[in-house]
Amino acid sequence: MSDKSVLNDCFLHDKQRLRHHEALQILKDQVSTIADVETVRLENALERILAEDITAPRNIPLADNSAVDGYAFRHSDFDEAGGFFQIQQRIAAGHASNATLGPWAAGRIFTGAVMPPGADTVAMQEDCETHQQDGKDFVIVPQGLKKGANCRKAGEDVKEGTALLAAGHRLRPQDLAAIASTGQAAIKAFRNLKVALVSTGDELRRPGDLISVGDVYDANHFLLRGLCAGLPVEIADLGILKDDASLIETRLKETAEQFDLVLTTGGASLGEEDHILRLLDKLGQRHMWQLAIKPGRPMMFGNIESCAFLGLPGNPVAAMVCFLLYARPVINVLAGGRFLEPQGFQIPAAFEVPRKKPDRREFYRGWLEEGSDGNTLAQKFQRDGSGLISGLREADGLIEIPEETTEIRKGDLVRFLPFSGFGIR
């Protein structure tokens, strides 16, 4: 890169930078799974990413069974006036009966118990009346029951051979229940990524340290650590690296040999003390830098040997926006999952932006509120500074404004990306 291009970088028109969709495409093209596979017991598999497809080896449920406590009978014996059946057997869950029900016979049955041979319908016990006659037990079933009532059929939930879950899926509690229902006790899952968090800058101090004029506390570490908590990773804190190129180079080399991913904040621009960009070019490969977005323009993606590298901006708002839009999906793919893209929806704006720079996608911090007419509106945090953590704290999501938009008037539709869609509660 020539001296002239460095000097003119701050004045580059955004058309010379990567647009948001171009950056996403680069990440989709460049990133692949690097995590190893291991066997995990089902009780330890929550939030793990599947490394195998799960298929039902048999019908679920395995046999026809009762959905209620009641009386099983043959519907063909039933008529419009109801039915008068002799109770011939008792069937509890886990104790299947091999005795076929004869004509006008019923079986006392309990929820989950296998239907006796010949029976196809169950009457709920609270709808029935029992009595004895000639020393025998009978049940009167009321009229109106349809054939198959209160009977769960074999394979009603899942048929044998049905594909339940695909490799790359992140396991939720309901997914574990589905796997357990097949009888499978362990699954193949991708190992959690080993991620090194690195903060850079002479001005940074950790909470609890003394601070003086010119210093700032390292909020980004705790921001990113919290954002990573919802991903399949194991975090290591490498602390704060001073603005010393030789020191940073040594640490990056060592870290790249021990971790799957290095995630840094700061040092992503071309200032004299911004060493991360130059060192990434020296030690590895840079696949992406300088985005036509606000906030978050100096976002880096690359690799040092087999270790992936993500360099986020130093300002907290820009760091969080870039993490959600780019780092989060990259981490999920590296860990064996799919490329995560946020789900948004169109909402009328409750704010105005008289002038917006074209050819740049912007992400405001905002929330939803109820307008005077009762309709839901998107409201924007008043200040746009990328160092204002207060905007992140007040917001419930991001308001995405496309490149071609140059102004926003109240009532214009804007795209709202709720933080919940990024896994933030």
Each of the 425 residues of the chain gets a pLDDT tens digit; together they read 233 322 233 334 445 689 999 999 999 998 999 999 999 999 999 999 999 999 999 999 999 999 999 999 999 998 766 789 999 999 999 999 999 998 999 999 999 999 999 999 999 999 999 999 999 999 999 888 999 999 999 999 999 999 999 999 999 999 999 999 999 999 999 999 999 999 988 899 999 999 999 899 999 999 999 999 989 999 999 999 988 889 999 999 999 999 999 999 886 555 555 688 888 989 999 888 889 999 988 889 999 999 999 999 989 999 999 999 999 999 999 999 999 999 999 999 999 999 999 999 999 999 999 998 899 999 999 988 888 999 999 999 999 999 999 999 999 999 999 999 999 98
Residue 377, both tokens: 């509106």
What SS3 state is found at 180? Answer: helix
Nearest C-alpha neighbor of 312 from the set 266, 275, 348, 356: 266
What SS3 state is found at 355? Answer: coil
Say if residue 359 is exposed, middle or buried (CB neighbours under 10 Å; 0-12, 13-18, 19+).
Answer: middle
The per-residue DSSP string of 213-240 comes to TT-EE-HHHHHHHHHHTTSSEEEEEEEE
Q: How far apart are the first and last CA of the chain?
A: 43
Q: How far apart are CA 73 and CA 149, in angstroms?
A: 11
Say which CATH topology domain 3-36+191-334 has.
Molybdenum Cofactor Biosythetic Enzyme; Chain A (3.40.980)
Torsion angle, alpha carbons of 349, 353, 358, 363, to 10:
-60
DSSP H helical segments within 230-353, as ranges?
245-258, 276-283, 316-322, 328-334
Q: Which helix (H) or strand (E) holds 70?
A: strand 70-73
Domain with CATH 3.90.105.10 in the chain: 38-56+166-190
Q: How far apart are CA 113 and CA 72, in angstroms?
A: 10
Dihedral of alpha carbons 247, 252, 257, 258, sign: positive
pLDDT (0 to 100) of residue 297 = 86
pLDDT (0 to 100) of residue 10 = 37
Say which CATH topology domain 345-422 has.
Beta-clip (2.40.340)
- In the block, tokens 């978050």 appear at 296
Task: Write the class of the CATH domain 38-56+166-190.
Answer: alpha beta
The neighbouring-strand residues paired with 72 are: 107, 122
Say which CATH topology domain 65-152 has.
Molybdopterin biosynthesis moeA protein; domain 3 (2.170.190)
Q: How far apart are CA 81 and CA 189, in angstroms?
A: 58
Contact 35, 165 (CB under 8 A): no
pLDDT (0 to 100) of residue 267 = 65
Domain with CATH 3.40.980.10 in the chain: 3-36+191-334
Provide φ and ψ at 174, rounded to 5°. Answer: -70, -25
pLDDT (0 to 100) of residue 327 = 97
Domain with CATH 2.170.190.11 in the chain: 65-152
Nearest C-alpha neighbor of 362 from the set 269, 291, 267, 288: 291
Residue 82, both tokens: 């109801």
Q: How far apart are CA 114 and CA 104, in angstroms?
A: 19
What SS3 state is found at 123? Answer: strand
